[in-house]
Structure 1
Amino acid sequence: MDENFSKSQEDVAASLVAAVSDQSAVSSNYLLADQLYNTRINDLAYKKIISCLPETPIYLAAQQMAANKTSCLFIRNENHEYLGFVTDITLRDRVIATQLDSQSPISNVMDENIVSIASDVYVYEALLLMFNTKSRYLLVKNGHEYVGFLSKNRLLSEQAQSPLVFIQSVKSAANTTDLRSKWRKVPGIVAQLLARGVHAEIVNEVVTTIADAISNKIIEDVIAKLGPPPAKFVFMVLGSEGRKELTLKTDQDNAIIYEDTPEENRAMVRTYFLDFATQVSDKLNYVGFVYCDGDYMATNPNWTHSLSHWKYNYKNWIEEALPEAAVKFAAFFDCRAIYGDDSIMQELRLFVDDELKKPIEKFYVYLAKNALLYEPPLTYFRNIRTQKIASKEVFDIKTAMTPIVDLVRVYALQNRIFQKENTGERLRALKDMGVFNDTQFNELMQSYYYLMGLRLKNQSRQIIDAHAAPNNFIEINSLTKIDKVTLIEIFKTIQNFQSGIKIRFTNSLG
């Protein structure tokens, strides 16, 4: 949780959630506020930006806040670039409580977590951005001009019955049992989102944000138990969660990177983080994120290491250019820091970016071959190929989607697209770079998210209606004729793109 997220703000959010849950008519429906998905930021009233220069003495900044009756003051330089902000709580915790000299410059106590957003984006995007960046305030831009700011509490109060208030309630959970109860409510939220026609990409992000909030809460609880970490670190998630494409059938895929430390401290630091990883993993498993069968978890000593060791790992995977190394690199390319010091992750990304600039054609060939391992389930006569499980004819929708994920990842790697995390974002970036034309982009986007919507819907039904553990098998007889025709066309599209991969990266049509 944000270290600056005050107890009073938590109480406001908790009261808001309680007020919603007390209304029996809406207690199970987080989607009555439909405006969440069609209201843009510029439809709301912003608060006026009050600002001062970084060298302004603290007492003058406080006087400026009092005169303008604002609880948030932004700090900007002479070029009108915003550097940070202070709040009433900042002055209480960092000035009064520490008896700091009020003549000190305000920049000494400001929070530097400044995040801005365009005025034409949707409210749900703004809230997800705030949760993902742990930001309490958003500066709103119209073109190149800052036109105001919004607070997280303001946006949450505007959407008192949305899934995003549910995310805030996760942050206020009392213990892991409470978190487990929260996670069990997610299938209902997913079902309602899909029933309202919300795009599968948004549903993915909502589920992922809930999972991130649960993970962060668990990490904080473990740190409170073990004591402060002996070194800076990041806890990163991999695979579908790393791509913000989490579904309802999920396991743990995570790792830890900690800063390089003096040799005499290394054993102690490593022992702490392996113990930390075990406790976090056990709690995640209890909540509902089961252990990874492939052992891609921070509890595995191979995946908890110093930054220099991680650089060595990535360098080896790239230079070895072996099939098994390419598989590991692909898994760890889809990574995202959800807790800790992000500068560690940024340093690793810069290192990998430099390594990828070298001539490594063979490496891309093996990555491309990974994208060809799974074939769309089409028969010779272009019908959907099924398998029989428990006397039912089914096909594996995850396997059907995998070629798109792998295909887009290869192109993203070749073009060193690191800041775009999910498949949709990567596709948009690749289209903007001219790698895909409009037709190719639209075909891949529509195909991927049609499959994702079908996958999420099937999993939520398995949990809610059948009271069964979710899986990735779609029963063919549960599909409509339109579904079947659409799937066949999607599988043809995937086959065509796989042919393109063969030609471009492997120089083979076989």
Structure 2
Amino acid sequence: MEDKLADQIYTARIGDITFKKIVSCSPGTPIFEAAIKMSEQKTSCLFIKNDQDVYLGFVTDITLRDNVIAKQLSPNLPIDEVMDTNIVTITPDAYVYEAILMMFSKKSRYLLVNDNGNYVGFLSRNRLLSEQAESPLVFIQSVKSAVNTGDLKLKWQKVPGIVSQLLARGVHSKIVNEVVTTIADTISFKIIEEVIAKLGPPPAKFVFMVLGSEGRKELSLKTDQDNAIIYEDTGEDKRAAVRSYFLDMATQVSDKLNFVGFVYCDGDYMATNPNWTHSLSHWKYNYKNWIEEALPEAAVKFAAFFDCRAIYGDLSIMESLRSFVDEELQKPIEKFYVYLAKNALLYEPPLTYFRNIRTQKIHKKEVFDIKTAMTPIVDLARVYALQNRIFQKENTGERLKALRELGVFSEEQFNELSQSYYYLMGLRLKHQANLIINDQAAPNNFIEIDSLTKIEKVTLIEIFKIIQNFQSGIRMKFTNSLG
């Protein structure tokens, strides 16, 4: 029965649950009047909206305690001077698990429910979590409560068990990816906060971004660090000190992440590398160069840094960079896309001439690399997303869906690619969790061919054929060659 209740979080939609009534006031309402209204309406959250019915923010009991009473502010001040402005909305057709993950990723305790332009109620994170006491998503809340890096390490060590539990229940691998990524993001957020508390306030606005699989919200259990820092441009007199601060921060964050279990990146795609901690103007120069150079190595770097996502700091910096890249991609850059396409053709599905699974021998066992097998789908989704200027979709599945909606892929093509990708992802996660839990071994991407059932082998062969067909399409479209 408990398993059934816990699983409902992955199938129930927001519209299936009862919302709380929205209580609101105008921005100029005195603080004491807002508090009286909260008391009369028996609500712990009061939303603030303007004359155009636009929600600007909210206040809670905690807001009044921390921002008013503790600071001894006058209760006659307007409420908008102390409100939280992190307004996050969701639609009734979204899943409950999406709402919870959104709350964690957006660092929000409340969600406004928007039904076709009308706000019909709100939800609190505590309420959703309390109703899902057996759900692994509640574990994320415990990560937020960790008091030191040692605690975070212990939390991360429990993740393989959570992955195994979710997969055993038949939870979609996309959801499992999102859960793992949210846990990783939460750990990173806690570590960054800890480092900032030690170093002192940052000397400039900045954003800490993650790259690669974490940037795409597609973390597996074999993961390393891929991150970078962008900070705002400052005057010449402050430049050296600002750069020194963020490089120091990067080193301390990276060391703590490594201690927790996110190992250093072999390719050095980390903020500790001076090349990947820079001002916004320098980052714009990087992207512009990669696009204009149109060289194979530049395309590889661009691909790595296109799969990026901000997890801490001033999000406007990331938006500024994305807007700049969007403008650059509107210029005639056919050669750039050719190299990106060729990059997407580097890894071929492991099929033999006779359409069997091609293996390699490791420790006397016949295995295939499932990460390499999945890479072409990630790459082709990225190429088409770039060509169609899809920037707000970081995830491979989301990119495929957006491409279907634009008519780039048919419904059949979307289903083939999406189902193939997440089947491979599920197999990969299951393999890694089993290695950690059952074999007490480090996770890897090499799946032993003899461990697969006949149905799994047949399914893999069909998936690899699908990938081959799509790679042929990329050759035709971007490189104008079948060779």
* Aligned with 2:156 (options 183, 186, 209): 183
Q: Could you list the per-position Cα deviations for residues 249-269 of structure 1 after superposition, in whole angstroms to 9, with x for gaps in the alignment?
A: 000000000111111111111
Partner of 2:240: 267
Residues 478-503 of structure 1, C-alpha deviations (whole Å, 9 max, x = no match):
00110011101100000000000001
Question: Could you tell me whether the CA contact under 8 Å between 1:31 and 1:193 is conserved in 2?
Answer: no
SS of 2:254's partner is helix
Quick one: distance in 2 between partners of 1:97 and 1:193? Answer: 43
RMSD: 1.3
Q: Trace 1:87-106 onto structure 2 (pairs within 5 A).
A: 87-106=60-79
> 1:496 corresponds to which residue?
469
Deviation readout 1:424-446 (Å, 9 max, x if unpaired): 00001000010000010000001
Stretches of structure 1 that go unaligned for 5 or more consecutive residues are: 1-24
Contact 2:38–2:45, Cα closer than 8 Å, also in 1: yes
| Residue 387 (structure 2) aligns with | 414
Residue 234 (1) aligns with residue 207 (2): yes
Kindly state the Cα deviation for residue 142 of structure 1 after the two structures are TM-superposed. Answer: 2.6
Q: Is the 8 A contact 1:31 1:161 kept in 2?
A: no
- 1:221 aligns to what? 194
Shift of residue 31, structure 1, vs aligned partner:
8.1
The 5 A counterparts of 1:25-424 are: 33-424=6-397
Structure 1 runs of 4+ aligned residues shifted over 4 Å read: none
Q: Secondary structure at the match of 2:368?
A: strand
Alpha-carbon distance in structure 2 between the residues aligned to 1:88 and 1:392: 61
Identity in percent: 80
Q: TM-score, normalising length from structure 2?
A: 0.98
Cα distance change on mapping 1:88 and 1:161 into 2, 3 Å: same
Q: Match for residue 509 of structure 1?
A: 482
More moved, 60-69 vs 177-186: 60-69
CA distance in 1, matches of 2:406, 2:430: 33
Q: Letter of the 2:23 partner, please give it.
A: I
Deviation of 1:278 (Å): 0.5
Tell me the alpha carbon deviations over residues 285-318 of structure 1, each in whole angstroms, 9 at most, x when there is no partner: 0110000000000000000001111011001001
Q: Which amino acid aligns with 1:130?
A: M
| Aligned residues of 2:180 and 2:220 also touching (Cα < 8 A) | yes
Letter in 1 for 2:385: A
Q: Does residue 470 in structure 1 map to residue 404 in structure 2?
A: no
- Letter paired with 2:444: N
Distance 1:504 1:324 in 2: 21
1:59: Cα distance to partner?
Answer: 2.0
Q: How far has the Cα of 1:43 moved from its partner?
A: 2.5
The secondary structure found in structure 2 opposite 1:235 is strand
Find the aligned partners of 1:81 and 1:383 in 2 and give their Cα distance: 59
Aligned residues: 483
Per-residue deviation, 1:32: 6.0
Name whichever of 134-143 and 302-311 sits farther off. 134-143
Q: Who is 1:451 aligned against?
A: 424
**CA shift at 1:507, angstroms?**
0.7
Task: Identify unmatched segments of 5+ residues in structure 2.
Answer: none
Map Cα deviations across residues 129-165 of structure 1 (whole Å, 9 max, x no partner).
1011111101112332211111111111111121111
Cα distance in structure 1, aligned partners of 2:65 and 2:166 = 41
Letter in 2 for 1:267: A
Output the amino acid matched with 2:224. Answer: D
The alpha carbon displacement at 1:79 in A equals 2.2
1:322-359, Cα deviation, whole Å (9 max, x unpaired): 10000000000000000111111011111111111111
In the alignment, what sits opposite 1:435? 408
SS in 2 for 1:33: helix
Matched to 2:355, the amino acid is R
- The answer (yes or no) to whether the contact 1:31–1:162 under 8 Å persists in 2 is no
Q: Is the 8 A contact 2:26 2:51 kept in 1?
A: yes
Q: Distance in 1 between matches of 2:134 and 2:165?
A: 13
Letter matched to residue 38 of structure 1: T
Contact 2:5 2:132 (C-alpha < 8 Å) held by counterparts: no
What SS does the aligned partner of 1:298 have? Answer: coil
Distance, in Å, in 2 between the alignment partners of 1:95 and 1:177 is 35
Give 1:12's aligned residue: none
Distance in 1, Cα, partners of 2:430 & 2:76 = 59
Shift of 1:64: 1.2
Residues 292-301 or 173-182, more deviating: 173-182
User: Is the partner of 2:112 in helix, strand or coil?
Assistant: strand
Residue 405 of structure 1 aligns to a residue in which SS?
helix
In structure 1, what residue type is equivalent to 2:446? F
